[in-house]
Structure 1
Amino acid sequence: MNRYCISIIATLAFIATSCKEKPQSIVKNESPKPNVVIIFLDDSGYSDFNPFGQVAIETPNVQKLANEGVRYTNFHVPQAICSASRSALMTGLYPGRTKVFGAHGPKEKCLDTIYPTMGEIFQAAGYTTGIFGKWHLGDTPETRPHNRGFDESEGLMYSNDMWKHHPVNPKYWGRFPIQYWKNGKVTIEDVGVPEQKQLTKWYTEGAVDFINRNSNEPFLLYVPHSMPHVPIFASEEFEGKSGKGLYADVMLELDWSVGQIMNAMHKNEVDENTIVIFTSDNGPWAAYGNHAGTTPFKEAKATSFEGGTRSACIIKYPNHLEANSSSDKMFSSLDLLPTLASITSLELPEGPMDGKNVWDLITGESGAKNPHNYYPFSTGKNFESVMSGDGKWKLHLPHKYASLNTPGKDGASGNYDNKEIELSLFDMENDPYESKNVINEHPEIAKQLKTFADAHKTKFYSEK
């Protein structure tokens, strides 16, 4: 064999070896589709973390996420109650369209399977999908997450207070044991206090393991924590750690969870190609006093005031969003699904989509305008208010609401007063606390928003 042939054989062998031993990091970076991670807290107050006003305890991981991403101070959910908020996130549809109102209990269907979920849409596009946390969108065989588009699932089917140990016994509490599910099977038949203390830890460990095993292909990871919805619990590693009470301990553990997820992405070299969204389903459940979070805005969970519907939000997407910046642009959880579908080049299914692509707003593109005429807000089955798409004005229809009178303590609920608001217009740029009714000063704006509200109510809330 001559020297020329030997040289060719050696070169081909080198190429074959190089291809075979190609580093995983190179393979990962070739993926054109970004991963998506959504961390969705339960009843967290707007001001529960350092980047949004909380200074009592250190939450370095959430702060780091904010430093690497954008803080959005005008992010809303369409209804400040568990199931309705989650349905809007997962479908991009109004509560009035899906008829998912309030908080659904054990053994209930909740979100109709005719409405595709984010999991189903991403799964159909080739994403590996996982949920680790509280589902609360159905507890019948066809509506549980493993049948709604999630390849891997682990956690509770509904709120952790719907258990036999609750101090009161409304419609759901006490009727069924809380079950812990994993990939379509019950692994713990009756969740008790020892298991409640492990929820944040178990969700986090599951999420980290999911990232470790699926980092070579695009993935959607949804982490809807059970905390800090009451009853609140922290694991042994965090209970008493803050020195400032159990709620602060819970915040520390949730902050740790954020750090673990971020570290896993960095370790697997996918953090540069991952969209991370951190927010809450609604504002704090203020009735529980020192076991609830805080918000600077009016009222709290289960109202259509800002204290209920405005949630702190951070989005990180390296090389696409300006790090350590802030935006006061208005958008909603309704918009996340269509926006993510656009970014990831996913095709949305045929049918209605109430949310809209607001990527230009999220990126802060000059001259970007919100595509919505209005955003609707409801409490349970009651349609109560609308905000202009640009977030400048908010109109409350006449409605009754529960306003906290005396907060509870150490896990006990406080007392509410029944109040009522008349037709009221608020200038949200100058009065985000909804303290002064300016309807007489701006009758034309009120008239336009009332037209939107009447049409929305007729379409989605009128009895058929």
Structure 2
Amino acid sequence: MNLHNFRTFQFLLLLLASTVNGQGVPPHKEKPNIVLFFIDDLGYGDLSVNGALGYLTPNLDKMAMEGTRFTNFMAAQAVCSASRAALLSGCYPNRLGISGAYGPESKVGLNPEEETIAEVVKKRGYATAIFGKWHLGSRKEFLPLQQGFDEFYGVPYSHDMWPGHPNQAHAQYPPLFWIEGNEKADAIATLSDASALTPNITERAVGFIRKNKSNPFFLYIPHPLPHVPLAASARFRGKSSRGIFGDVLMEIDWSVGQIMQELKAQGLDENTLVIFTSDNGPWLNYGDHAGSTGGFREGKGSSFEGGQRVPCIMRWPGVVPAGRVNNQLMAAMDILPTIASLTGAALPTKKIDGISMAGLIKGEEAISPRKNFLYYYRRNNLEAVRQGDWKLVFEHAGRSYEGQLPGKDGMPGPAPENHLFPKALYHLTRDPGERYDVLEQNPDIVKELEALAEEARTDLGDDLQKRKGKNVRPIGRVE
């Protein structure tokens, strides 16, 4: 082929690509695929890239090298249902009337009138699926197919809410089942059954990618583990020097690797944003069956950093800078508006609390759009507020793991719920472990943060002060 013919051939190939794609861009480039991992009770220190010992998470470490690790990422609350509601709705969970972790017989859930990430992107033609743990209401009215998802295979609530948990015999929980769509499927009756959680979810996720390789999709993978009780498949059981917890983390890392591998196999890797994060910090009183906060104070069920600061990695080749660490403040509520911005989707019609971080994740890192964060817990207790790196903790009674002997081999140790924490001010740059109260030295800062708290109480309420918020919406409820 001479030079003239070769250039003509190149031109025809480009013309063909332009004709196929309509605008001369790679397929769906204006509609990136979204894969969102949301891991249960994973602590800040539970990835080897963040310092975990006794096992390795090579796929996540690789994801961090090829993407950006966000070190100041906050779960909305340090408990299951509330945290998941915030992620999917873009709202503080108490704005939706949601708190705590719903049990099997709960008659409440995420109100179907709220718009989830799935509903937001569905209007842009996205296929949507969730494979994993839902925990936003187990009644049919609240299940994922009623919240914008095309497919659901997973568990309706935490898998410790079942008869087989060694510490839950008194609770008389009903049997736990996989849910397929809106219907019960196979029972999860034993720890052996639970060992299929991660591989089954991974297999479904891989199948969904293959099925939807020709159209944009939102794939939500909320893995139920490493929430107790811990279980790993035979392939990973006994493989780490950290015991069953390390085995479980190795299998979750394998799951991430399988998804990344499938994206590459289907030619979707460079047009897919993958987000990996956690719902809250580790359940520390489970001892060797719990993870690590990486040095932050307290853990799950606490408004200190160990309860709410969680790992976050994002990867999108050519868009999210590779090998970067970003220390700007972000929160789980910011995921929805960020995805909306990246996909060209409209925001929910009702007020949300999230802020788009699209610029930040693309590398515009000088200033974070998020300046403030509210630490609510229990039903609607405002326990702390943050502005920049200053955090004001209000006097409150709460869970504490400190000074308690942790449990072992799947049995929990004590974690008193009524430890009295005094009012205190911390500077999280100098003191991320929240050990040195500098309240008396900074009266002006305290005054500013108290004004922020007053705005929050007016808007969202505060049970500690017996105040109702002006802008709290009704929770979903069935009679």
Q: TM-score, normalised by structure 2?
A: 0.88
Pair 345,30 (structure 1): closer, same or farther in 2 beyond 3 Å: closer
How far is the alpha carbon of 1:370 from its aligned partner? Answer: 2.4
Q: How does 1:304-383 map to 2 (within 5 A)?
A: 304-365=303-364, 367-372=366-371, 374-381=372-379, 382-383=381-382
Q: Which moved more, 1:218-227 or 1:379-388?
A: 379-388
Q: What is the identity percentage for the equivalent residue pairs of Structure 1 and Structure 2?
A: 41
How far is the alpha carbon of 1:190 from its aligned partner? Answer: 4.8
- Name the counterpart of 1:52: 50
- Letter paired with 2:35: V
Q: How does 1:28-427 map to 2 (within 5 A)?
A: 29-108=27-106, 109-169=108-168, 173-295=171-293, 296-365=295-364, 367-372=366-371, 374-381=372-379, 382-388=381-387, 390=388, 392-404=389-401, 405-417=404-416, 418-427=418-427
- Name the counterpart of 1:436: 436
- Name the counterpart of 1:447: 447
Q: TM-score, normalised by structure 1?
A: 0.91
What's the secondary structure of 1:40's corresponding residue?
Answer: strand
Q: Distance in 2 between matches of 1:215 and 1:246?
A: 35
How far is the alpha carbon of 1:45 from its aligned partner? Answer: 1.2
Q: Distance in 2 between matches of 1:159 and 1:113?
A: 21
What's the secondary structure of 2:153's corresponding residue?
Answer: strand
Q: Distance in 1 between matches of 2:91 and 2:370?
A: 15
Assess if the C-alpha contact under 8 Å between 2:122 and 2:148 holds in 1: yes
RMSD over aligned CA atoms reads 2.2
Q: Which moved more, 1:298-307 or 1:238-247?
A: 238-247
What's the secondary structure of 1:88's corresponding residue?
Answer: helix
Assess if the C-alpha contact under 8 Å between 2:329 and 2:370 holds in 1: no
- Name the counterpart of 1:7: none
Assess if the C-alpha contact under 8 Å between 1:165 and 1:174 holds in 2: no
Q: Distance in 2 between matches of 1:438 and 1:71?
A: 30
Per-residue Cα deviation, 1:428-463 (whole angstroms, up to 9, x for no partner): 111111011111111111111111112212332224
Q: Distance in 1 between matches of 2:140 and 2:271?
A: 34
What's the secondary structure of 2:407's corresponding residue?
Answer: coil
Assess if the C-alpha contact under 8 Å between 1:77 and 1:333 holds in 2: yes
- Letter paired with 2:374: P
- Letter paired with 1:456: A
Assess if the C-alpha contact under 8 Å between 1:28 and 1:215 holds in 2: no
User: What is the aligned residue count?
Assistant: 443
Assess if the C-alpha contact under 8 Å between 1:31 and 1:217 holds in 2: no
Q: Distance in 1 between matches of 2:200 and 2:430?
A: 43
- Identify unmatched segments of 5+ residues in structure 1: 1-10
Q: Which moved more, 1:72-81 or 1:176-185?
A: 176-185
- Name the counterpart of 2:472: none
- Name the counterpart of 1:6: none
- Name the counterpart of 2:475: none
What's the secondary structure of 1:400's corresponding residue?
Answer: strand
- Name the counterpart of 1:5: none
